[in-house]
């Protein structure tokens, strides 16, 4: 770890499931991927089904982060985005307190959504804290 970074602080926040639309989308994806994984394991065996299993987990993680990360028509109509709403609710207060925030995501497309939302905020500072 770089010496100029302060000690890591972990703050756990529970954001909820994001509403009925997001729960329904999650269940739809889970059900479809469950069947796809089962079919793949039946056809090729567990040892040769890792890619399909990882793809199923990826899609479920994407639904949890933000439905817009999924390239599905059903995801486009879901407006609940619990994690992003929670982050966007926290950022203005943290910036106002003079804190610096480093946001990580394994999805570059999630970072693009965060950047878009940050650009839409009127910050109380002389410039946007987004240095993306």
* Distance between CA atoms of residues 132 and 59, nearest Å: 25
Helix and strand element counts for the chain (H, E): 5, 0
From first to last of its 132 residues, the chain has per-residue pLDDT tens of 567 777 877 878 776 666 778 888 899 999 999 999 999 999 999 999 999 999 999 999 998 888 889 888 878 888 878 788 888 888 888 888 888 888 889 999 999 999 998 888 876 655 555 554
pLDDT at 71: 84
pTM for the predicted model, two decimal places: 0.74
* Alpha-carbon distances, residue 53 vs 32, 35, 38 (angstroms): 12, 11, 9
DSSP characters over 39-66: HHHHHH-GGG-HHHHHHHHHHHHHHHH-
């Amino acid at each position: 770890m770089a010496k100029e970074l302060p000690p890591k602080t972990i703050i756990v926040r529970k954001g909820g499931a994001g509403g009925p639309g997001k729960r329904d989308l999650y269940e739809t994806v889970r059900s479809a991927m469950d069947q796809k994984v089962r079919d793949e394991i039946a056809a090729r065996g567990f040892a040769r089904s890792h890619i399909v299993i990882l793809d199923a987990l990826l899609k479920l993680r994407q639904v949890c982060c933000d439905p817009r990360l999924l390239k599905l028509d059903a995801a486009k109509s879901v407006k609940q985005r619990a994690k992003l709403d929670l982050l966007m609710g926290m950022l203005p207060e943290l910036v106002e307190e003079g804190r610096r925030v480093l946001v990580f995501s394994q999805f570059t497309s999630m970072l693009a959504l965060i950047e878009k939302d940050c650009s839409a905020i009127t910050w109380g500072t002389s410039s946007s804290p987004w240095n993306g």
